[in-house]
């Protein structure tokens, strides 16, 4: 099975492993304000393509979806709660900027793309054009 190489995530995971090996303390507020990559699932059926991005805890004012030609981009920034007093002892949540882009196939009806957000999941439904949907062809008797 092939997996997508994520250089930033792989590098951060490597740093975490080195810190554990040498039992190094985490820098103050580690994990805050660094780029991250949300998990994304892409599903296709005969009627539509669906993209689901996991972006829990996001303020939707900080999320942008754009379409430029065939390139659909989801980007945003998850900000740290600035009102909190004190210092983080452990940070496992991710904060900072993210961006994911997808090249859309010609079969997507760009005018009917819809996006919803529920329980931390951004869902985009990309309907297929009527011209490319599967259909039956009747056979005429002669």
Q: Note whether residue 92 is domain-resident.
A: yes
Q: What's the pLDDT score for residue 131?
A: 74
Give the other-Cβ count within 10 Å of 37's Cβ: 14
Q: Note whether residue 22 is domain-resident.
A: yes
- 48 with 125: CB under 8 angstroms? yes
Percent of the chain's residues with pLDDT above 90 = 46
Q: What's the pLDDT score for residue 1?
A: 42
Question: pLDDT tens digits for 59-83?
Answer: 889 999 999 999 999 999 998 877 7
Question: pLDDT tens digits for 16-34?
Answer: 666 666 654 555 555 566 7
Classified as helix, coil or strand, 23 is: coil
Counting the structural domains of the chain, the total is 1
Which residue range(s) make up the domain with 120? 7-131
Least Cα distance to 98 among 26, 3, 11, 8 occurs for: 8
Q: Residue 110 sits in a domain of what CATH number?
A: 2.60.40.790
Question: pLDDT tens digits for 34-68?
Answer: 788 999 999 999 899 999 999 998 888 999 999 99
Q: Note whether residue 2 is domain-resident.
A: no
Q: Note whether residue 140 is domain-resident.
A: no
DSSP assignment letter at 12: H
Work out the pLDDT band at 127, boundaries 50, 70, 90.
Answer: very high
Global confidence as pTM = 0.69
Q: Note whether residue 21 is domain-resident.
A: yes
């Amino acid at each position: 099975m092939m997996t997508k190489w994520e250089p930033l995530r792989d590098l951060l995971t490597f740093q975490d492993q080195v810190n554990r090996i040498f039992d190094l303390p985490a820098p103050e507020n580690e994990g805050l304000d660094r780029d991250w990559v949300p998990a994304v699932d892409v599903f296709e059926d005969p009627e539509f393509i669906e993209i689901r991005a996991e972006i829990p805890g996001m303020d939707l004012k900080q999320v942008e979806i754009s379409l430029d030609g065939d390139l659909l981009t989801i980007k945003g920034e998850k900000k740290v709660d600035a009102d909190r007093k004190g210092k983080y002892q452990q940070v496992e949540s991710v904060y900072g900027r993210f961006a994911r882009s997808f090249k859309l196939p010609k079969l997507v009806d760009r005018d009917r793309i819809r996006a919803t957000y529920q329980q931390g999941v951004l869902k985009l439904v990309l309907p297929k054009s009527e011209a490319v949907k599967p259909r039956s062809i009747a056979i005429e008797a002669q």
